């Protein structure tokens, strides 16, 4: 009895977005530079949260609003 699995039969994992993403990931999703993400944060277009370590992350829901506005 052979129990090996053919790896080509397994679909590639789909990346999941959590509640927030890094500044870099937000830039990639929006197709803009990191600097533009920071501008949109300062304009109030993108919402952010701070992690316990002090990093700033972009709230995923605000990305959909930003995409429709720009």
Instruction: Determine the Cα–Cα distance for residues 11 and 58; give it in Å rounded to an integer.
Output: 29
- Mean pLDDT calculated for residue range 25-43: 96
Share of the chain above pLDDT 70, in %: 67
pLDDT of residue 4: 56
Q: Is residue 5 part of a domain?
A: no
**Domain of 24?**
20-69
Nearest C-alpha neighbor of 60 from the set 23, 17, 28, 14: 17
Q: Is residue 7 part of a domain?
A: no
Nearest C-alpha neighbor of 42 from the set 54, 22, 56, 52: 56
Q: Is residue 51 part of a domain?
A: yes
pTM reported for the whole predicted model: 0.69
Q: Is residue 42 part of a domain?
A: yes
- Mean pLDDT calculated for residue range 4-11: 59
The CB density around residue 58, as the number of other CB atoms within 10 Å, is 25
Whether 62 has a pLDDT exceeding 90, the answer reads yes
- Mean pLDDT calculated for residue range 5-34: 79
Check which CATH number belongs to the domain holding 51 and give it: 1.10.1660.10
Buried b (16+ CB within 10 A) or exposed e, 5-40: eeeeeeeeeeeeeeebbebebbbebbeeeeebbbeb
- Mean pLDDT calculated for residue range 1-27: 71
């Amino acid at each position: 009895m052979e129990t090996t699995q053919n790896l080509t039969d397994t679909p590639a994992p789909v990346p999941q977005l959590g509640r927030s993403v890094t500044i870099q990931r937000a830039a990639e999703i929006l197709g803009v530079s990191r600097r533009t993400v920071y501008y949109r944060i300062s304009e109030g277009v993108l919402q952010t949260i701070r992690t316990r370590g002090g990093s700033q992350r972009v709230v995923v829901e605000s990305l959909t609003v930003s995409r429709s506005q720009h």
